Amino acid sequence: MRATGRVLAAALAAGLLAGGCGAGSPGTGGVEPSGSAGATSPDSAGPATPTATAAPRVTPLEPLPAVVPAELAPYYAQRLAWKACDGGFECTTFRVPLDYDRPGDGDLTLTAARALVLPPPKTTTGTGTGARTGAGDRGGDGSGQVSRIGSLLLNPGGPGGSAVEYLQIAADTYDSGVRARYDLVGLDPRGVGRSNPVSCLSGPRMDAFTAIDLTPGDQRGIDALVAADKEFAEGCRQHTGAALGHLSTVEAARDMDVLRALLGDKRLNFVGKSYGTFLGATYAGLFPGRVGRLVLDGALDPSLDAATSNRTQAGGFEIAWAAFAKDCAPRKDCPLGRTEQQVGEQLTALLATVQAHPLPSTDKGRRLTGAQAKTGVIQAMYADSLWPKLRSALTAAKAGDGTGLLKLADSYFGREADGSYPNLMSANTAVNCLDLPAAFAGPADVQRAMPEFERTSPHFGRDMAWMALACTYWPVRATGAAHTIRAAGAAPIVVVGTTRDPATPYAWAQALAGQLESGRLLTYDGDGHTAYGRHSDCVDDAVNLFLLEGEAPKKGKRCDW
C-alpha cells in the first residue's frame, strides 16, 4: 500500500500494492504483478535477496479498437468547465460510464485538477534540463520562447492515492522547464479521493482493523483476522454499492483516455509512480497509438499472480531492511545493536515483546500493537530520509513508549489527528481484488505457503502472507488476471527502477521494461521507493530530457547520484 503523509511529494508516490491489504496490513497492497519474481540488490546478501521464480504463462493485454465506439462518443464530446479550487489550482468534473461494456447502465463522476503552464525560467544557465526548454522536437523557435507541449497527467500510486492531492502538494517540485511546457493534471481514479470514493469502515473501526494481529499463532488469532477481513469487505459492499464491481485498473485507464480527449491532447503524456506505473502501462497496452511521453517510476510487473506478487514484495522490504540495518549498526544512536545481524535479531525480539504487551503512547490512551509496530517499520522503509525517525521510534519503544512507531503507522494509513482516515485503504483493496483473483482460498492455503514467504523475507514474509487473505472474502469477483503488456507500436516508454526499492522490487522494473516493445529501463542504484524527483539529479535530468524533448535514456543507463 502507499502510505499517505509520507514525505510530501515523494511520500505521496508510495505503494500500497500487494494483492489486497489485509487487516492492519503494513504492506503494499497493490496490483503488483511481477514477471521476474525476484529482486536482487547489488550490495545486499543472504536472506535479503528474494528467491527468483519463473514467470507464469500469461496472455498479453490486447489493445482496444483505435476508433471510439459510437456508444461512447458522448463521453468523448463533453466540455470541461474549470473552476478555481484549493489555492491556485483549477478543478473540473466529467462523466464516464459505470460499465464500458454497458454504457447505458449509469455513469460515474470523476474529479480532476490542474496547474497551468508556468512562464519559462528567466535564465537558461544551469546543469539541469530546465536549461534546454527552448529546444526539442516541439520546442522553441530559437528566440528563447518555448511552446506548450500539452497536459502531463500524474498519478502517485496506491492504488488509492489521490492524484488531485498529489498535484496540490507536488506541483511546485516539478522541474521549471517541465512546468513551462505542460499543464500538470491530477485525475482521481474512479473510487479514489474525489471520484466516487469507496467507503468501508468508520474511523474507530479502522483503528481496530489496523491493530489486528497479522501473525496469528493459533486458531483464535486466525479467526479474529478472518473476521476483520470479512467485516471490512462487508462494509465496502454496504457503503459503495454497484460501483464496487467497476473500479479496475483497465476501467481507470479507459477513463484517462476520455480525459485525454477532453483536454485536447492527441496523445497521453503521463508520469506514474508505484501503482501508477501499472495504470500507465495498462493505458499503453489498451491505446498504444495514443501514447505520448510515458514515465513509469517504481514499476509493477503485470505478469504475476497475487500470491507471488505479495511474496516478492516481501522480499523487497527485506532488501530495504538490510540496507537500513547496514546503515544503522555503526551509528551511535542505533538502538538495535552494533552489527547487521544484531539489528535484525533485536528487531524481531522487540516486535515479539510489543505483540505480547502493547505499548502505551501519548495519543489519547491508544496503545501500540505488534501489527502497528511492524507497519511503522515498513513505513520507514519507503524513504531513507525516514531512517532517523525510525531509529528514534525504536529507541523509545525499547524504553516502553510506543508513540513514535504509532505515528509512523498512522502516517502509513493516512490517519488524521481526529481519528479519521482517507479512503486510501478502501480503494486499495477494492482495486486489487478486482485486478487479480485472490491469492489464497483460505487460511490453510496461507499456512501451506508460509515457508516460502518466510524464506523470501524472514522479517516481513509472515505478515505479507496473511495480508494476502483479504481478497478471499471480497464480495465482488475479480475481473482481471495476470497478463503481460507489450503495447506494440507505442512511442518510447521510460521505466525507472530503484535497486533497493522496498515496495516495487527492481526486478519488476526490469520485467516491465522487457515486456514493453518500446520500453527503456533507467536504473537508479539507491534506496527508497521511486526515484524521480527524490534525490538523484541524474535520474531527474534523464526524465526531464525525455519529457521535454522525447529523448529516451540510452539502453543500460544507470544513475547512482
Catalytic residues: 274, 501, 529
DSSP H helical segments within 180-248, as ranges? 203-211, 219-240
- Residue 212 phi/psi, 5-degree rounding, is -65, 140
- Residue 505 phi/psi, 5-degree rounding, is -50, 145
Closest CA to 90 of 111, 109, 114, 118: 114
Closest CA to 232 of 261, 252, 250, 207: 207
List all residues 6 or more positions away from 161 whose beta carbon is below 8 Å from its beta carbon.
2, 4, 12, 13, 14, 16, 155, 192, 274, 275, 276, 424
Closest CA to 532 of 514, 517, 545, 549: 545
Q: Which helix (H) or strand (E) holds 401?
A: none
Q: Which helix (H) or strand (E) holds 295?
A: strand 291-297
CA 133, distance to chain mean position in Å, is: 30
- Check if the beta carbon of residue 101 is closer than 8 Å to that of residue 245: no
- Check if the beta carbon of residue 147 is closer than 8 Å to that of residue 136: no
| DSSP summary character for residue 327 | H
Q: Is the dihedral of CA 62, 196, 87, 419 positive or negative?
A: negative
Q: Is the dihedral of CA 469, 472, 476, 482 positive or negative?
A: positive
- Check if the beta carbon of residue 528 is closer than 8 Å to that of residue 501: yes
- Three-state SS for 392? helix
β-bridge mates for residue 500, sequence order: 527
Preceding amide of 159 cis, omega within 30: yes
In Å, the largest CA–CA distance within the chain is: 74
Question: CB burial class (10 A; 0-12, 13-18, 19+) of residue 123?
Answer: exposed
- Check if the beta carbon of residue 397 is closer than 8 Å to that of residue 359: yes
Cell numbers standing for residue 145: 520562447
Closest CA to 275 of 21, 549, 44, 537: 21
Q: How far apart are CA 525 and CA 378, in angstroms?
A: 20
Place of cell 504487551: 357
List all residues 6 or more positions away from 416 whose beta carbon is below 8 Å from its beta carbon.
none
- Three-state SS for 92? strand
